[in-house]
């Protein structure tokens, strides 16, 4: 069975500082990996996804993530955050041959002025 | 505008009173899905549908029903709601049933069962 663990439930950070949101997964088969963002009172939207190829994936709003197969991780990074990045971030995993997506519990990012 | 819509956005009801939450997408997507979001648990899949008349259980299907009679609509039915179904519900759709496709989410329905 697959699972996703987001290692931090909340991450406070000052504006213009770098941030890393950590995600680990477990799966016995090949996977696709996703990061979604949820702004207050809104649905989720895709930030980026890893399907195959280069392990460094660039997404919207300056975010990027690196797929590390040996460590089964897919950490999300941004070199300089803005107040507007305050949101909840979800890591998700799908089997390459399946139809279901498993989401992590989420990480709340608070960006302080 | 391409979107997933849900109605109602907010609902307060009482135990045992049947309700339906509607979901509609205008992107001609094959795959649709329902999730519930609870604090500390993230999103958990309730049911999904790979196409018209094809539905399957997700991880937490107990107490819910769905139907997919038309490609664009995927209603979620609670025949006899209970307080443990108080949650934030999201409908999502993607172009194909494959796991690689991006899911597009509706704005959510906040349900309170008293």
State pLDDT tens for residues B59-108. Answer: 999 999 999 999 999 999 999 999 999 999 999 999 987 677 889 999 99
Residues of B in contact with A89 (CB under 8 A): none
In angstroms, rounded to a whole number, what is the distance separating the alpha carbons of residues A62 and A17? Answer: 13
Average pLDDT over residues B32-38: 95
| CB atoms closer than 10 angstroms to residue B73 | 15
Nearest CB partner across the interface for A43, out of B48, B99, B107? B107
B48 and A99 within 8 Å at the Cβ level: the answer is yes
pLDDT value of position A83? 96
Looking at chain B, the whole-number percentage of residues with pLDDT higher than 70 is 99
pLDDT value of position B109? 97
B99 and A94 within 8 Å at the Cβ level: the answer is yes
Average pLDDT over residues B9-24: 97
pLDDT value of position B1? 82
Looking at chain B, the whole-number percentage of residues with pLDDT higher than 90 is 85
| Three-class secondary structure of residue A62 per DSSP | helix
Give the torsion sign (CA, A51, A53, A56, A59): negative
Average pLDDT over residues B34-54: 93
Pairs across A and B, CB distance < 8 A: 65
Residue B49 has pLDDT above 90, yes or no: yes
Check whether the bond before B100 is cis (ω within 30° of 0): no
pLDDT value of position B107? 93
pLDDT value of position A86? 97
10-residue block means of pLDDT along chain A (113 residues)? 90 97 90 93 92 92 95 97 96 83 94 96
Tokens of B78: 């609670």
pLDDT value of position A41? 85
Q: How far is A112 from chain B (nearest CA, A)?
A: 23
């Amino acid at each position: 069975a697959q699972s996703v663990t987001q290692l931090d439930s909340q991450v406070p950070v000052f504006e213009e500082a770098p941030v890393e949101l950590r995600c680990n997964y477990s799966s016995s088969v090949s996977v696709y990996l996703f990061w979604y963002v949820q702004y207050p009172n809104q649905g989720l939207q895709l930030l980026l996804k890893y399907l195959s190829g280069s392990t460094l994936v660039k997404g919207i709003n300056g975010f990027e993530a690196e797929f590390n197969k040996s460590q089964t991780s897919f950490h999300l990074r941004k070199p300089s955050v803005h107040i507007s990045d305050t949101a909840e971030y979800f890591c998700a995993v799908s089997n390459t041959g399946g139809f279901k997506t498993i989401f992590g519990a989420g990480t709340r990012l608070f960006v302080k002025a | 505008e391409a979107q997933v819509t849900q109605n109602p956005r907010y609902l307060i009801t009482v135990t045992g009173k049947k309700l339906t939450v509607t979901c509609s997408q205008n992107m001609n997507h094959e795959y649709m899905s329902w999730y519930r979001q609870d604090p500390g648990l993230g999103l958990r899949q309730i049911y999904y549908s790979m196409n018209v008349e094809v539905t399957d259980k997700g991880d937490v299907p107990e107490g819910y029903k769905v139907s997919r009679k038309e490609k664009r609509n995927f209603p979620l039915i609670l025949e006899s709601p209970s307080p443990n179904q108080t949650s934030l519900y999201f409908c999502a759709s993607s172009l194909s049933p494959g796991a690689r496709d991006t899911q597009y989410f509706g704005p959510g329905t906040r349900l309170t069962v008293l």
